[in-house]
């Protein structure tokens, strides 16, 4: 598949594969795919391959054999009990926790690490709030590459940290937040210490496009009214927009679902920009939220994400930590879906937008739940308390379970 890497801001073609921004205007980069060879084809032509990232290989800018752990192909659950609880016509959950390392990041990493091999790189690296590092560590292991991950000290959920260490990455924590870690990794990449696989590398969002492709594929191109994403560094919602535009350009879909982004209240620079109707955002110093995955004050793809929201007639909203935790429990206890806090922000945002009358109760909505509940066991234990300890007799256990209410919401 032919493509060109361009500056998203000024359109200039960028040939140096190791740049992470436009040399002329410092704008973010994007991959411009030439889809002309797909004209006259249809989605049905792809379906001989199993549902997953590589079903959509024609839309991905790598030529060689992919480094794959069979990512994608995640369930799209029809959540009737959740819809009843929220009071909306239809809610589906795209459960990205079912990916090989438990988050949607695997979709970008299969492409990004394949690209690293094509460029002959030996060491890959990233800054991360946790999931990116877990995913990169696994794909680097699979590809036989060295891996360096830089994390904000003390603010990465235990499961994610455990994964990065387990897969053999060099894990460094820095005194600062994600935005500081990203600045450091960019500097290391510029100096040639590593090939950076954060989402400012435009090959990452290319892989993440497949999340939106799958949703449309699983719905047989019967478009939902709205797709809701939790937003942190803001590449994933942009990737969805790019995916939708590509299928629209081929005539596979006519309209675009309203892309809607949810940030955590303490880390919501894009929501503030949206509320002002602006394309530009002001970074938040010292971002905070229990949803550590999206604890980001200066989203690298922020302007792209705003474009995705404005162009599709979507919206953005911020939710509190309490709303996030309530939504996480609701997903677990009404639908059996185990999502980490950041993922649950999508559902918390839907509830808020319905309550505020900004989303119609007649809509058909897809919420993207980006990561698995086991990523952050501490967040769960803080809500659910400890198990009841007792003697190993039926009588003692009967007594224990008869005390207090049966756990529910």
Binding site for ligand F0G (CB under 6 A): 103, 105, 128-132, 199, 230-236, 293-294, 340, 342-343, 370-371
* DSSP 8-state symbol, 403: S
- The H-or-E segment that residue 125 falls in is strand 123-127
Least separation in angstroms between CB 2 and ligand F0G: 26
Least separation in angstroms between CB 359 and ligand F0G: 20
Of residues 5 and 235, the one with the C-beta less far from ligand F0G: 235
SS3 state at 17? coil
Least separation in angstroms between CB 119 and ligand F0G: 22
Of residues 38 and 293, the one with the C-beta less far from ligand F0G: 293
Of residues 105 and 242, the one with the C-beta less far from ligand F0G: 105
Contact between residue 114 and residue 201 where contact means Cβ atoms under 8 Å apart: no
- Kindly list the distances between the CA atom of residue 73 and the CA atoms of 97, 135, 199, 216, 358, in Å, as whole numbers in the listed order: 11, 16, 21, 12, 31
For the chain, the helix, strand and coil percentages under 3-state DSSP, each to the nearest 5: 45, 15, 40
Report the C-alpha gap between 155 and 167 in whole angstroms: 20
**What's the full length of the chain, in residues?**
409
Least separation in angstroms between CB 133 and ligand F0G: 7
Least separation in angstroms between CB 293 and ligand F0G: 3
Contact partners, residue 84, CB within 8 Å, separation at least 6: none
Backbone angles phi, psi at 172, to 5 degrees: -120, 130
Least separation in angstroms between CB 292 and ligand F0G: 9
Of residues 335 and 376, the one with the C-beta less far from ligand F0G: 376
Of residues 339 and 359, the one with the C-beta less far from ligand F0G: 339
Of residues 131 and 177, the one with the C-beta less far from ligand F0G: 131
Tokens coding 113:
């690490």
Contact between residue 296 and residue 232 where contact means Cβ atoms under 8 Å apart: yes
Least separation in angstroms between CB 105 and ligand F0G: 6
Contact between residue 31 and residue 188 where contact means Cβ atoms under 8 Å apart: no
Tokens coding 86:
């929220």
Tokens coding 327:
């939504």
Contact between residue 216 and residue 248 where contact means Cβ atoms under 8 Å apart: no
Of residues 256 and 368, the one with the C-beta less far from ligand F0G: 368
Of residues 61 and 297, the one with the C-beta less far from ligand F0G: 297
Residue with tokens 């996030």: 324
Of residues 46 and 321, the one with the C-beta less far from ligand F0G: 321
- Complete DSSP assignment for 171-225: EEEESS-HHHHHHHHHHHHHTTS-EE-STTSTHHHHHHHHHHHHHHHHTTT---S
SS3 state at 331? helix
Least separation in angstroms between CB 79 and ligand F0G: 18
Residues in a beta bridge with 127: 150
Least separation in angstroms between CB 360 and ligand F0G: 25
Report the C-alpha gap between 218 and 93 in whole angstroms: 12
Least separation in angstroms between CB 164 and ligand F0G: 10
Helices marked H in 30-130 — which ranges?
Answer: 80-86, 105-118
Q: Characterize the bridge pairing of strands 316-319 and 76-78.
A: unpaired
SS3 state at 120? coil
Of residues 224 and 299, the one with the C-beta less far from ligand F0G: 299
């Amino acid at each position: 598949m032919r493509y060109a890497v361009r500056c998203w801001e000024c359109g200039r073609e960028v040939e140096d594969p190791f740049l992470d921004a436009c040399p002329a205007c410092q704008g973010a980069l994007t991959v411009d795919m030439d889809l002309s060879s797909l004209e006259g084809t249809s989605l049905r032509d792809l379906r001989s391959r199993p549902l997953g990232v590589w079903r959509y290989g024609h839309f991905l800018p790598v030529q060689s054999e992919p480094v794959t752990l069979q990512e994608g192909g995640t369930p799209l659950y029809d959540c009737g009990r959740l819809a009843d609880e929220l009071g909306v016509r239809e809610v589906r959950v795209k459960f990205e926790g079912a990916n090989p390392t438990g988050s949607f990041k695997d979709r970008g990493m299969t492409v990004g690490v394949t690209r690293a091999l094509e460029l002959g790189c030996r060491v890959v690296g990233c800054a991360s709030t946790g999931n990116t590092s877990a995913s990169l560590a696994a794909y680097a292991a699979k590809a036989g590459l060295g891996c360096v991950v830089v994390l904000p000290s003390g603010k990465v959920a235990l499961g994610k940290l455990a994964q990065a260490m387990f897969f053999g990455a060099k894990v460094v924590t820095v005194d600062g937040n994600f935005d500081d870690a990203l600045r450091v990794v960019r500097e290391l990449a510029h100096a040639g210490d590593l090939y950076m696989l954060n989402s400012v590398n435009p090959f990452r969002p290319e892989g993440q496009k497949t999340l939106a492709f799958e949703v449309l594929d699983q719905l047989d191109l019967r478009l939902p009214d709205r797709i809701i994403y939790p937003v942190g560094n803001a590449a994933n919602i942009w990737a969805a927009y790019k995916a939708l535009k590509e299928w629209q350009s081929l005539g596979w879909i006519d309209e675009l679902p309203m892309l809607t982004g949810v940030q955590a209240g303490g880390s919501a620079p894009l929501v503030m920009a949206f509320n002002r109707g602006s394309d530009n955002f002001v970074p938040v110093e010292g971002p905070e939220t229990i949803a550590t995955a999206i604890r980001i004050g200066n989203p690298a793809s922020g302007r792209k994400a705003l474009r995705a929201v404005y162009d599709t007639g979507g919206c953005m909203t911020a939710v509190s930590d309490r709303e996030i935790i309530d939504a996480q429990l609701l997903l677990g206890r009404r639908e059996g879906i185990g999502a980490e806090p950041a993922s649950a922000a999508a559902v918390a945002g839907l509830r808020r937008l319905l309550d505020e009358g900004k989303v119609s109760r007649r809509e058909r909505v897809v919420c993207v739940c980006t990561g698995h509940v086991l990523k952050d066991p501490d967040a769960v234990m803080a809500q659910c308390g400890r198990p009841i300890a007792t003697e190993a007799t039926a009588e003692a256990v009967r007594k224990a379970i008869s005390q207090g209410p049966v756990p529910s919401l």
